[in-house]
Structure formats: C-alpha cells, structure tokens
Amino acid sequence: MARNNSVVLKPITEKQLQQSIVRTLQLLGYTVFETGKTRTKVLCPTCKTRHYATGWQGNTIGISDVYIHNQKWKIPVGLGVELKTEKGAVRTEQKIFADLNVTHICRSLDDVLNVLHTVELVVGNDTTIKKLEEFINNEYRKY
C-alpha cells in the first residue's frame, strides 16, 4: 500500500526511530516486543577479547529490533522488524534474516506501516485491516 506525499519520520538516531514506531503501533492496538536496546561488546573472561554477547548473555546477532503482534490476528504470528535510520548500515546477519523473510528492514514509520498492512491483509480481520487503513489514509497524513 505505497503512498505518495507521505510524512516520513527522520529521527536523529535509531533509538528515536524505534521509540516513535513502538509508541505509534501501541496506540493502534498492537503489542510490540523490543528485543534489545543497545548492544555493546563484552570482555571474554577466558581469552580477554571483546565481542558482542550472544546466547544467555545477549541477543542473537542480527535478530530483529522489534516483533509486532495483534491478538485479533487469525493465526498466532509475530512480525519481525529490523529498524535502521536512513543511512544506517545493514549487517550481514541482518541481511541474512531479511533474505529468509524472518524479518523486514524498515527505515521509517511508513515502511513499517506498509509491511504491517501486507500482514494485515493475510492474517488480519476486517476490523484490524480497516483500523490500520483509516490511520494510514486519514490520521497519519495529518502529521
């Protein structure tokens, strides 16, 4: 559901982009799970090198920033979204997840809404589809 003349959020950081998207989706009635905020390298106690924590210490490298769900969807499914700023680099692991259709790389609220609309058409119901379309076509354009 691509739109012309749409408002595009241009936050300064990925954190701001994520906060804006999470708040908007929650207002629309979606449940949003955030998998991680900041990833920093940790010191390995054995080899004394620094690396990103994985497993019990941290998130799987490349995993989506957020998962979106709606209890009204016909089947239990979560939409994985990796958020990037306009110029944010996509890591190899993130590209692999996107290529496998495990996640979607989105650079704006517009991108997220378009992907979410596609999901709504497949697993949503008339009420959830209508609510999202009304927001996209009416409310969202006001801002």
Query: Is the pLDDT confidence value at 52 over 70?
Result: no
| The CATH fold of domain 14-142 | Trna Endonuclease; Chain: A, domain 1 (3.40.1350)
pLDDT: which is higher, 83 or 37: 83
- Assess contact for 73 and 29: CB atoms under 8 A: no
Q: In what order do the strands lie in the sheet with 79-83?
A: 31-34, 66-69, 79-83, 104-106
pTM: 0.76
Q: Where are the domains of the chain?
A: 14-142
Query: Is the pLDDT confidence value at 90 over 80?
Result: yes
